[in-house]
A and B are shown apart, each in its own frame.
Chain A
């Protein structure tokens, strides 16, 4: 068995990000207009979350600290950035399209739209809080998946990876 610790494969980073972008694109119209998410939208959000868990498990098995850092930064940005961006958007003066009037709405879109397929199915609540709650849950599950992957690597006689 070859020991492969402390290294990350590019797909461990690419898969969660790619599925994140796809989920944002599929949920875009429903999120922007505030309509209920489509079945496809919910499915892509679920895939995006699962991609994080699978990547975290493999990263844990490889004891990839770079993926761990990446995940922590990403999810802190997601969970803290959503309410912060929403607050900034409401507090900022209105600006036209060429003077930055779309920067904060686009940030909010990037943070909230990918998870819209799931949190919009929750009982009616403040969407920002719903998105943050789903983000916290996904982050926690990602950390759990990472630790499971790491533990599987350390099991005596383990031949995983």
Chain B
């Protein structure tokens, strides 16, 4: 009888545990978190400025975007800092639509890039030492990046292809050719958004 009660108790405990795992909420992004946002006015209006939403909406809090402002490091920025008095160009996502769980992963990578205090680089989307980087370019190995590099790096780290040939699309995969092909004006924030991402809306996020 005692054994029977023990078995029933163990079964109930196991069931409870299983149910608790099943109903526990997975962390998930909401609103526009993890989506890329763009505005015009860069290099005499030749191209745009890119950032990634860290908050659900532009007015959800004081620091709604993660961006590289062109000096200093990758940072959490205010909406006016991001817009800079220019015209908003829309909210974009990778061509393969990410789930809210994917977008939550984007947020964690945003935090890592901010923590690494990465400098600005006008020439390269993502710059790193090709001789010391491993197979993959970890956030700690990135020495400098451009504003569109923040978007490219975060999306491609999680396998969401943005710009590049079939061989060298992943900017997080270390190689001289891969780094080189994501440089100059072969890809710009404007072409990144217009040609390699999908527009969600032109309205403020």
Contact = CB atoms under 8 A, between A and B. Distances in A.
Interface in A104-158: 104-105, 108-109, 112, 124, 126-128, 131
Given A97-B123, A108-B46, A34 B184 contact: no
Contacts of A126: 45
A112 B85 CA distance: 19
A94 B184 contact: yes
Contact of A101 (B40, B44, B184): B184
Q: Dominant SS at the A interface?
A: helix
A94 B43 contact: no
B49 A34 contact: yes
A1 interface: no
Contact of B185 (A95, A124, A128): A95
B71 interface: yes
A128 B45 contact: yes
Contact of B180 (A33, A98, A108, A127): A98
Contacts of B86: 34
Nearest to B70: A33
Given A33-B70, A89-B46, A127-B45, A101 B185 contact: yes
B122 interface: yes
Identify which of B40, B86, B184, B188 gathers the most chain A CB atoms within 10 Å of its CB: B184
A99 interface: yes
Contact of A102 (B46, B184, B187, B191): B184
Contact of A94 (B39, B84, B85, B188): B188
A11 B13 CA distance: 88
Given A32-B70, A33-B49, A97 B180 contact: yes
A128 B84 contact: no
A36 B86 CA distance: 9
19 contacts: A31-B43, A32-B42, A32-B70, A34-B41, A34-B42, A34-B45, A35-B84, A36-B85, A94-B185, A96-B181, A96-B183, A97-B124, A101-B185, A102-B123, A102-B184, A109-B43, A124-B85, A127-B45, A128-B44
A94 to B, nearest CB: 4
B184 A108 contact: no
A21 B27 CA distance: 51
A49 to B, nearest CB: 18
A29 interface: yes
B34 interface: no
Interface string B23-64: 000000000000000011111111001000000000000000
A13 interface: no
B126 to A, nearest CB: 12
Contacts of B124: 97
A86 B84 contact: no
Identify which of B69, B183, B188 gathers the most chain A CB atoms within 10 Å of its CB: B183
Nearest to B181: A96
